Amino acid sequence: MNGTLTPHTDAVVHRRKWEVPRIFTEIQHLGSVGDEEMERVFNLGIGMVLAVNAMDAYKALDALRASGHRAVEIGQVTDGDGTVNVVA
């Protein structure tokens, strides 16, 4: 999962917060593709990530869902060195 972070922040993405579409499981199995490659190339079904202040997360989720989007909270931004960390 790629993105642009400031040099002093990390994105912590919790892998179990969303269901990976079956097509990605098939691609991984049939192509013998590793987890890291699937994350990097296909984002495992995550189409877009929106970072908002934690205090506004529920308002953002409500607004997205009211507009017909499937929205879930998948992680947080923390102090760090500009990397994206996918955790189980």
| CATH number of the domain where residue 73 is located | 3.90.650.10
Q: How far apart are CA 27 and CA 43, in angstroms?
A: 13
The pair of structure tokens assigned to 8 is 């002093």
**pLDDT of 4 above 60:** yes
Q: Is residue 4 part of a domain?
A: no
pLDDT tens figures, 31-61: 999 988 888 888 888 888 899 999 999 999 9
Count of domains for the chain: 1
Is 2 among the domain residues?
no
Average pLDDT, the chain: 89
pLDDT > 70: percent of the chain: 95
Identify the residue whose tokens are 């009211």.
66
- pTM for the full predicted model: 0.75
Q: Is residue 3 part of a domain?
A: no
Q: What is the mean pLDDT of residues 22-36?
A: 92
Q: What is the pLDDT at residue 3?
A: 58
CB atoms within 10 A of CB 52: 13
Does residue 81 lie in a domain region? yes
